[in-house]
Amino acid sequence: MSTSKENILQFISFKGVTKSGFCKKTNLSNGFFTNSGAVGSDKIHNILNVYPEISAEWLITGEGEMLKADNSKPSEEKNLIPYYEDVSTIGGNNVVAETEAVYNTAIQIDAGDWFKGATAAIRHYENSMAEYPSGCILAIKELNNKSEIIWGRNYVVETIEMRITKKIAELDNDYINCYSTNLETHPDGALIHQPIRVKKTDIRYLARVLGSVNKEESTGKVQLL
């Protein structure tokens, strides 16, 4: 999957503008292209405001066409969901995940027919979930009623201390267990990615993972898992 910064450089080359001119026009800092950090949702929003012809999906993921189609024919209703570039989930053992980011964005992407019912899209990092490559985008559906949990499925579980993606199972009336699907072990046979026990009353956000999108750089294909 190409990064937003790589896609921006491609667009600049296409437009024939300089980096400094682009930064000035979009109100980005002079060090934007040398900074190794991710492109935040506020910067994406600025760029799309200045260059509305850019496809938001392409800018964020590198998938699809760079420019929006100029089509006067009535288009099919899109399945638009908010994309939170600044909100991410982890799958590894670093359970002290960043939960400072808030679910606030002006960016929307089209989830299409693959992810009916999706309410948001976020990034996933780390490698404890074998089916989700680090850096992929997860399409998720928020659960407001915990009685609708399907045990044995993958969920984004957030407490005040962590935000993780795991396969969950009910432990007892008070706790759930969060399991990794990467079953790698230490030399002594112990799991590298140990289950995490979470108290039900500590869960402040819960969303079922409907699928993921990951672009393979070598083939340009998109995996829908």
pLDDT value of residue 158:
93
Q: Is the pLDDT of residue 202 over 90?
A: yes
Residue type, 173: N
**What pLDDT sits at residue 220?**
42
Query: Using 50, 70 and 90 to split pLDDT, how confident is the model at 199?
Result: very high
What is the rounded CA–CA span in Å between residue 79 and residue 119?
10
Which residues, other chains included, contact 188 with Cβ-Cβ below 8 Å and sequence gap of 6+? none
What is the band of 69 on the pLDDT scale with cuts at 50, 70, 90? Answer: confident
The mean pLDDT value for 203-224 works out to 70
What are the strands, taking DSSP E only, across 48-190? 80-90, 108-110, 120-125, 137-142, 154-158, 163-170, 175-179
Lowest mean pLDDT among 51-55, 63-67, 122-126, 212-216: 212-216
pLDDT above 50 for 221? no
Residue 106 pLDDT > 90: no
Q: Tokens for 106?
A: 């002006």
Residue 135 has pLDDT above 60, yes or no: yes
Q: Which helix (H) or strand (E) holds 60?
A: helix 56-61
Percent of the chain exceeding pLDDT 90 equals 38
Q: How far apart are CA 215 and CA 137, in angstroms?
A: 10
Positive or negative torsion for Cα 36, 41, 42, 44: positive
* Total residue count of the chain as it appears in this document: 225
Q: How far apart are CA 69 and CA 63, in angstroms?
A: 14
Query: What domains can you pick out in the chain, each with its CATH number?
Result: 4-61 (1.10.260), 80-224 (2.10.109.10)
Give the residue-averaged pLDDT of 60-80.
74
149-177 pLDDT tens trace? 999 999 999 999 889 999 999 999 999 99
d(CA 17, CA 32): 15
- pLDDT confidence bin for 130, thresholds 50/70/90: very high
pLDDT of amino acid 224: 39
Residue 131, judged by CB atoms within 10 A of its CB (0-12, 13-18, 19+), counts as middle
Where residue 122 falls (left for φ over 0; alpha for ψ -120 to 50; beta otherwise) is: beta
73 pLDDT tier (thresholds 50, 70, 90): low
pLDDT bracket for residue 71 (50, 70, 90): low
**Cα 95 to chain center, whole Å?**
18
The answer to whether residue 94 scores a pLDDT higher than 60 is no
Closest Cα partner for 178 from 162, 155, 161?
155
C-alpha–C-alpha distance, residues 70 and 72, integer Å:
7
Can you give the pLDDT at residue 53?
92
